[in-house]
Amino acid sequence: MTSLDTRLRDLRTRRKALVPYFIGGLTEDWTTYVSASILAGADVIEVGVPFSDPMMDGPVIQAGALRALGNAATLESICHELSAASFEVPIVVMTYYNVLHHFGLERSAELLAQSGVAGVIVPDLAIEELTPWRDVATAADVSSVLMVAPSSPDERVRRIGELSQGFVYAAARMAVTGQAADVGDASRVVGAVRAACDTPAYVGIGITTAEHAREAATIGDGVIVGSALVQRILDGASAQELEGAISTFRRALDQASSEA
């Protein structure tokens, strides 16, 4: 069991997890937004390492990633800034396999671990090809967080449940990231995960409002909020303004915890 496994299983006994997503290097002061979200009650931070050819990113995340790339953001620069910030909550990086492969799998795992990163989501890395990365990452105590889609058959969900560390990313819809009108297939996906394993299931993709977060948290063990926050930053919101927005998500999740 990895450190992230232990920490998130403990968290599950206390409250629903709030996981805001930020793009590393989106602004010069992007880590101040992370600090503000922690003050607002974030339990885990997801940090996107931008890639030029994303597979699951919608228009908002793509726009943010392109801006970050224009700011010369790289895996190394983002890890350096994470290391300097030394956040007290777990950091989970989301990136694409080409970034890790190009830098070197072992070097990537070591760099991430040294920067305080507890887990990595690699959405374009199939479980059939996971072993080389998962082995070096686990050796560095970096969890491999895997995703379950609404289309995943039961046997594949079972296998993902066996392999995923920290939490399972329960994708609420068959879509790229983005804001949405409801929580999609969250109930069905989380149900499949829980039938397959005891790993915490966090709902993401399309969580746009505090009410979405509350509803998703009554289903899963936590929620991931991405595009709705990145859009605010792209629109010029300050860290203090974002802290206020994230506080509304925190209150919604606390309500869901009290209803559980």
Q: Where are the alpha helices (DSSP H) in the chain?
A: 3-12, 30-39, 59-70, 75-85, 97-103, 105-114, 131-139, 154-163, 186-196, 210-219, 227-234, 239-259
Catalytic pick among 57, 185, 215, 221? 57
Catalytic pick among 5, 10, 29, 46? 46
Tokens read off for 203: 């709902």
Q: Are the C-beta atoms of residues 168 and 7 closer than 8 Å to each other?
A: no
Q: Is 57 a catalytic residue?
A: yes
Task: Tell me the C-alpha distance between 152 and 20, whole Å.
Answer: 25
Tokens read off for 224: 């991931």
Task: Tell me the C-alpha distance between 136 and 86, whole Å.
Answer: 23
Task: Tell me the C-alpha distance between 33 and 10, whole Å.
Answer: 26
Cite the active site residues.
46, 57
